[in-house]
Amino acid sequence: MLLLVGLGNPGAKHAGNRHNIGFMAVEAIARRYNFGPWRKRFQGEAAEGDIDGAKCLALKPQTYMNNSGAAVGEAARFFKLTPADVVVFYDEIDLAPGRFRMKKGGGAAGHNGIRSIAASAIGADFRRARLGVGHPGQAELVHGYVLSDFHKADSDWVAALLDATAKAAPLLVKGEDEKYQTEVMRLAPAGKADPRKSPADA
């Protein structure tokens, strides 16, 4: 079983937030591969399916971002998963909008959802799918920025990135994270811009 976790905050008011791009990514994957219906499970919403013969569970913790580890830990324990069986999709302010990077383990870099999973669930060595949303430019603006909706001008690159993460998912289930990263960026190219500048400013 591969656990595909999308990070975000529950509720309609957060649905379009930059902080919720993780939710959007696992929803795109579940749609593309015709996963079963979303059900309340593991303190979250979960949908089961398979990608190229590999059994997968998409999970959107409903515990709010800062307590994401409670939901992930519960699911990981239930299925007796190792960190290699867990991929977490989340917003990354230190990557330019539309950029995508896979990473295994490491620190939380100020992301409370990642910190919660590392602290209370399966340790820090899980796989991370980092979706670049850009940076507002000043540390004190970050909180408001990630809890704000994407601008209309962002809709094209957001849609392209989400579609690419879903389309390339067979590489992810094979454990080929580097190839997955390369394929996502091939399908949804985004320049290595300064994360503090939006594509709309270019």
Alpha-carbon torsion 95, 101, 105, 106, what sign? negative
CB 33 within 8 A of CB 47: no
Tokens 């899980």 sit on residue: 126
In the three-class reduction of DSSP (H, G, I as helix; E, B as strand; rest coil), residue 171 is classed as: helix
19 is catalytic: yes
Among residues 70, 15, 38, 35, the alpha carbon closest in space to that of 169 is found at 35
Catalytic residue among 19, 111, 135, 151: 19
Q: What order of strands is seen across the sheet that includes strand 39-41?
A: 39-41, 44-51, 54-61, 2-6, 86-92, 127-132, 100-104
Catalytic residue ranges: 19
